[in-house]
Amino acid sequence: MRRRTALGVWIGWRLLWALLLIPGTAQSEPVRELVIGVQDFRDYLPYSEIRDGDYRGFNRELLDLFAQHQGYRFRYQPFPIKRLYLALLNGQIDLKYPDNPYCGPPN
């Protein structure tokens, strides 16, 4: 449990620093909607969970804060872990979260 908490805090701080270092968009630019594929976890609180089709938790709050700061609107689409990467490759989603540069397509 301690390792999972430390990793979540580390990821949160990295995303927060990225949010603060990237300049915001101008108000005159239109809001762009992106579909974010997320893992269909039932209970991974405080980080994330899917309850009644709604993505909740710390990860959601952090991503929404980034989207608001940058002029985006995120729509979250849950997928089972094995289908999440394929949804990205097939163009069903614009981004996936979480992401890992060492994880490639499933075999």
The domain 2-97: what is its CATH number? 3.40.190.10
Cα 76–Cα 78–Cα 84 angle in degrees, nearest 5:
110
Measured distance CA(89)–CA(104) in Å, rounded: 11
pLDDT reported for residue 55: 93
pLDDT in tens, the chain (107 residues): 455 566 666 677 676 666 666 655 445 566 789 999 998 877 788 888 998 889 999 999 999 999 999 899 999 999 998 899 899 999 999 999 887 666 655 55
pTM metric for this prediction:
0.67
Instruction: Kindly list the domain boundaries of the chain, sorted by start residue.
Output: 2-97
Around Cβ 28, how many Cβ atoms within 10 Å? 6
Identify the H or E element spanning 62.
helix 58-70
pLDDT reported for residue 15: 67
pLDDT reported for residue 43: 78
pLDDT reported for residue 86: 92
